[in-house]
Amino acid sequence: MNTEEIPLRDRILETTRHMLFSDGYSSISMRKIANAVGVSATSIYLYFENKDHLVHTLIEESVEDLSVAIEKGAARYDDTIARFEAIIHSYVDFALQNPEKYQVIYMVQSERMARYPKEKFRKARRGYTLLGSVLEQGVKEGHMEVDEPLIAAYSIWAQLHGVISVVLNQRLDSRIDREKFIEESIEHIIQGFFARIKIS
């Protein structure tokens, strides 16, 4: 078999990610995962402390990949505004092209995240920290008007996630066209940072 060559730990991770995405968290169990991999349930505990740890590892992987995608996207441009837009589009593109990985990041609700080791959160910061520094640069160059770049970056992050999760979770109103929704939402989020006109 070819799969025998791949380390068991990796096979467990891949199988879990797939099952997590297609069946949902509450449907997966250690026994089912083990069964799909072709080992006994307790073998999973040789590589992961418990179910939480297994899921957290999956999240960490996904966060890493997302961060890399964003950094690559930004690196393609020198111009600050182009970098700003590239980051946002990289985020959205990654989420839409890798729904399994993206969904895993946010699939786990607050309670289970509370058990997520705090130091790991710093890795998750990489993406919007980069965005923050781009915003700062934008302010310096006079293109944007932003009080607190870090807050602004986080705000964009949250807004993007809201848009993406509505799309991926299929909560979108059936009367609304998916692509148009995404496009207009991104446009709106971007636009909000170039114009700061007082309401007349």
116 lies in the binding site for DNA (CB under 7 A): no
d(CA 81, CA 85): 6
Q: Are 82 and 73 in contact (CB under 8 A)?
A: no
Q: How far apart are CA 47 and CA 165, in angstroms?
A: 31
* Region 49-88 residues binding DNA, contact defined as CB under 7 A: 50-52
CB-wise, 42 or 97, nearer to DNA?
42
Residue 167: Cβ-neighbour burial (10 angstroms; 0-12, 13-18, 19+): buried
Residue 78 engages a copy of itself in binding (rule: CB under 8 A): no
Residue 2 sits at φ, ψ, to 5 deg, of -80, -40
Looking at residues 129 to 188 of the shown chain, list those that interact with DNA (rule: CB under 7 A): none
Question: Cα dihedral angle (23, 26, 32, 34), rounded to 10 degrees?
Answer: 100
Q: Give the tokens for residue 124.
A: 């998750």
Q: Report what 184 binds from DNA, a copy of itself, none; CB cut-off 5-8 Å by kind.
A: a copy of itself
Helical segments of the chain, H only: 8-23, 30-37, 51-75, 80-97, 99-107, 110-114, 118-140, 149-168, 178-191
Q: Quick one: which of 103, 119, 126, 133 contacts a copy of itself (CB under 8 A)? A: 103
Q: Which stretch, 23-31, 68-76, 121-129, 164-172, contacts DNA (CB under 7 A)?
A: 23-31
Residue span binding DNA (CB under 7 A) among the ranges 13-21, 47-55, 70-78, 99-107: 47-55
Q: Which of 107, 130, 131, 135 binds a copy of itself (CB under 8 A)?
A: 107
Of residues 39 and 139, the one with the C-beta less far from DNA:
39
Q: Which of residues 40-59 bind a copy of itself (CB under 8 A)?
A: none
Interaction site with DNA (CB under 7 A)? 8, 28-32, 34, 39-43, 45-46, 50-52
